[in-house]
Amino acid sequence: MNNYIEILALVTIGVFLLWFGYTLLIGQFSSIKLGFIDWKKHKKSKLPVGSPGEPQVCPVCSTKLFKGYMVQTHAFPSLNGGKDRFMHIKGCEYCINGDMPRICPVCGEHLNTSHFLLARMFEHPKRSHVHVLGCCICKHI
C-alpha cells in the first residue's frame, strides 16, 4: 500500500513539472516564439493599426494585414475599355467578422457589415492603385 502512495506522489509531481516546463518554454508565458502565431486568437487591441492609405492596410478598419490576408473586393469591368475600373470594398476578415470597427475613410461614418466602400482601381503594369471615393452612405448608393 505504501508503494502505491509513493508512485502516485511521484507521478503527480512529474505531471506538474512537465506542465510547468511546457508553460515556461513553449506556452503563452514563453519569450521564445516558434515562428507561427495565430492572429485570429489575438485581441483587437493587439492588432497593428496603420493609416487607410498605406499599402497592406485595410481601408475600412485600418488594420495592417499580415501575409496571406486580403481585403474582400468586387471589381467591375471597365466601361470605357481603359485601365480604370470601379470596385466595391467590403473589408478584411477582421472588420467583416466584427472584430474591428468599420469606418469610412472619407466621411467618418460607422459602417455595418452590409455597407461597402466605393473605389476606383487604376491598373498599372507593375501594380494596381486604388482610390477610395467614399462609402455607400456618403455617395447615396
Task: Give the pLDDT score at 28.
Answer: 58
Please give the Cα distance from 115 to 117 (Å, whole number). 7
The residue ranges of the chain whose pLDDT is under 50 are: 35-37, 39, 42-45
Please report whether residue 118 resides in a domain. Answer: yes
pLDDT of residue 12: 94
* Contacts (Cβ under 8 Å, ≥6 apart) of 6: none
Q: How far apart are CA 73 and CA 76, in angstroms?
A: 10
Say whether both 73 and 99 belong to one domain. yes
Q: Which amino acid is at 11?
A: V
Provide the number of structural domains found in the chain.
2
Amino acid 70: pLDDT = 86
Task: Identify whether 126 is part of a domain.
Answer: yes
| Residue 68 lies inside a defined structural domain of this protein | yes
140 domain residue, yes or no: no
Residues 73 and 9 grouped into a single domain: no
Tell me, yes or no, whether 93 and 47 share the same domain. yes
Determine the structural domain holding residue 18 and report its residue range. Answer: 1-36
> Is 85 a domain residue?
yes
* 102, part of any domain: yes
- Is beta strand 84-91 parallel, antiparallel or unpaired with respect to 128-135? unpaired
Query: What are the pLDDT digits (tens) for 121-137?
Result: 888 888 778 888 999 88
The Cα 19–Cα 69 span in angstroms is 34
Q: How far apart are CA 40 and CA 46, in angstroms?
A: 11
pLDDT of residue 18: 87
Q: Answer whether residue 141 is part of any domain.
A: no
The reply to whether 11 and 61 lie within a common domain is: no
Q: Are residues 18 and 84 in the same domain?
A: no
